[in-house]
Amino acid sequence: MQFIWDHTFGKQEKQDLVVCKPMAIFDAEEEAEAIEHGWLALDEPVGNKEVFYQSRSTRINMARFRPRFTEHKHNGDRIELKVVEANEMVKLLGLPQIYKKYMARKKEFRDLYDPFAHYHPRDQFMIFYTGAPDNIIGFTKQKRYLYQEDYTGPTIDDVYDTQSLAGMESCIHANTVPISALTMDLEAMWAADHGAAHYYLGSGYESSSEYKSSWRGFEWWTGVEWSNNKKKYKRLCKRDSDITNVSDLGNLSLIPDNL
C-alpha cells in the first residue's frame, strides 16, 4: 500500500484549513480489505496507476438487503438488463448519448468526469432496456472487487471473471427516463445473486445523496466504522449542502456536533 495526498487547497492567514484528497495504491490482493475500510477505486488513473480514494463511502449490506419494489416496469414494460464488459464497444451502443441526455436533465449535477475515458479490468456496464435489447433506456458503470484468495489467474484480466465478489460498486448511472430507483433495485439484486457481500454506492455527500439510504441494509463509512444511523447520515448530507462558503468550512471544527 502506498498513500498519496493530493493537497488541493489551504488557508493559513485568517483560517486554519487544509483541504487534501487522501488516496492510496493497493496491491491486488489488498482490495477486499481496502473497501472494508471505506476505500473505493477512482475511475481515473493517477500516473497511469489505479488509485483508491477515501470518502464518506456508502453501501448496502447484502445480508440485510430486500428489494424496494415488487416489480420493475416502465410504462407497463418490464425493465430488462444485460451486462457488458467495459471497452470501446460500449460507445457503439449509444451510451455516451444517453449520458449526455441524463446530465442535461439533471441540471444540479456537474459533469466532473467522462465514464468512457478509462476502463479497468474490474469495470463493467449494466445496460437497462425494455422490449428489444436495442431499446436502451439507461445504464450503470460498475466496479467489481475480489477476495484475496480469488487471485488465481495468470493476469489481472482473468481474475475478474470470477463469480466470487467481495463487493460491487455503482460508479455512475444515467438514463433517458426517471427509473433510477428501479434500476438501483435491479443492480443490488444482481449483486446479491452473484454473491457480493456488499453493493457500494459511491460517496455520500450533499442532499442529492440522501436517497442512497432508502434501501434496507444501508451503511455509511464514518472514517472509523460502518454506521447504519440513517438519521445522522441525512443530517450530514444536508449540512454538506448548507455549507457554501470557505469560511463556513474553515470554522466547521468549532461547530458543536449535535447530530
Closest CA to 151 of 2, 45, 25, 32: 32
pLDDT at 147: 83
Pairing verdict, β 17-25 and 52-54 = antiparallel
Please indicate, yes or no, if residue 26 is contained in any of the structural domains. Answer: yes
Please indicate, yes or no, if residue 51 is contained in any of the structural domains. Answer: yes
The SS3 of residue 54 is strand
Spatial distance between the Cα atoms of 233 and 236, rounded to a whole number of angstroms: 5
Q: In the predicted model, is pLDDT for residue 154 greater than 50?
A: no
Q: How far is CA 234 from CA 171, 210, 231, in A?
A: 20, 6, 5
Mean pLDDT of 155-178: 77
Question: Residue 155 CB: number of other CB atoms within 10 A?
Answer: 8
Closest CA to 173 of 139, 209, 215, 216: 139
Stronger pLDDT, 215 or 111, i.e. the higher one: 215
pLDDT band at residue 12 using 50, 70 and 90 as cut-offs:
confident
- The sheet with strand 123-130 has its strands ordered as 73-74, 77-85, 123-130, 136-145, 167-175, 198-203, 57-61, 218-221, 226-227
pLDDT band at residue 109 using 50, 70 and 90 as cut-offs:
low
> What are the tens digits of pLDDT across the range 129-141?
999 999 999 999 9
Spatial distance between the Cα atoms of 210 and 14, rounded to a whole number of angstroms: 33
Q: Give residue 212's domain range.
A: 2-254
> What are the tens digits of pLDDT across the range 215-251?
999 999 999 999 999 999 999 999 999 888 766 766 6
Q: In the predicted model, is pLDDT for residue 52 greater than 60?
A: yes
> What are the tens digits of pLDDT across the range 38-47?
999 999 998 8
> What are the tens digits of pLDDT across the range 121-131?
899 999 999 99
Closest CA to 199 of 162, 225, 166: 166
Spatial distance between the Cα atoms of 149 and 24, rounded to a whole number of angstroms: 21
Please indicate, yes or no, if residue 169 is contained in any of the structural domains. Answer: yes
Stronger pLDDT, 173 or 60, i.e. the higher one: 60
Spatial distance between the Cα atoms of 101 and 178, rounded to a whole number of angstroms: 12
Q: In the predicted model, is pLDDT for residue 200 greater than 90?
A: yes
| Cell numbers representing residue 186 in the block | 435491479
Please indicate, yes or no, if residue 259 is contained in any of the structural domains. Answer: no
The SS3 of residue 160 is coil
Please indicate, yes or no, if residue 54 is contained in any of the structural domains. Answer: yes
pLDDT at 189: 96
Cross-strand bridge partners of residue 81: 128
Spatial distance between the Cα atoms of 100 and 121, rounded to a whole number of angstroms: 24
The SS3 of residue 136 is strand
pLDDT at 16: 80
pLDDT at 243: 86
* Predicted structure pTM score: 0.89
pLDDT at 254: 45
Q: How many domains does the chain have?
A: 1
Q: In the predicted model, is pLDDT for residue 36 greater than 80?
A: yes
Please indicate, yes or no, if residue 18 is contained in any of the structural domains. Answer: yes
Mean pLDDT (the chain, rounded):
88
Please indicate, yes or no, if residue 27 is contained in any of the structural domains. Answer: yes
- The sheet with strand 2-11 has its strands ordered as 2-11, 17-25, 52-54, 39-41
pLDDT at 126: 97
The phi and psi torsions of 74 (rounded to 5 degrees) equal -130, 120
Q: In the predicted model, is pLDDT for residue 162 greater than 70?
A: no
